[in-house]
Structure 1
Amino acid sequence: MTAHDLTRADWRTSTRSSGNGNCVEVATADGQVAVRDSKDRSGPVLAFDASAWRTFLHGVGEVRRS
């Protein structure tokens, strides 16, 4: 696994977040999509390549339509 430099990452929270702190933040870095827990910003980060991220978003969309 390769560590990504996220020091300059522009983390963003979903516009659908309710503002209660129970959400994830997303940033792009080194051609990857990084995801972290908004309550633990110094904690672990998951990184996905663009194709895997698109597949995930598509799957979430399918679940929401069910």
Structure 2
Amino acid sequence: MERGTLVINALIERGVLPKDDSQVITGVIQALMMLRLHKDEIGEELFPKVIDKLIDYVSEGLTNKK
């Protein structure tokens, strides 16, 4: 098991993150990090706003108790 997945599992067990597949949550976080590879395509000026908004959406979705 990857180190990141271990951390995600610990956060799930503590109730910080929803009970979901830890590999999926890890994949979502990795996908956010990979977005940096497309910075030029998104645009230098727009990129910081896009990444900030995506992080907001993902963090709200992960921590929102349904």
* TM exceeding 0.5: no
Q: TM-score range by the shorter chain?
A: 0.3 to 0.5
TM-score (norm 1): 0.35
* Greater fraction of residues in helix: 2
TM-score (norm 2): 0.35
Structure of greater relative contact order (alpha carbons < 8 Å, 6+ residues apart): 2
* Greater fraction of residues in strand: 1
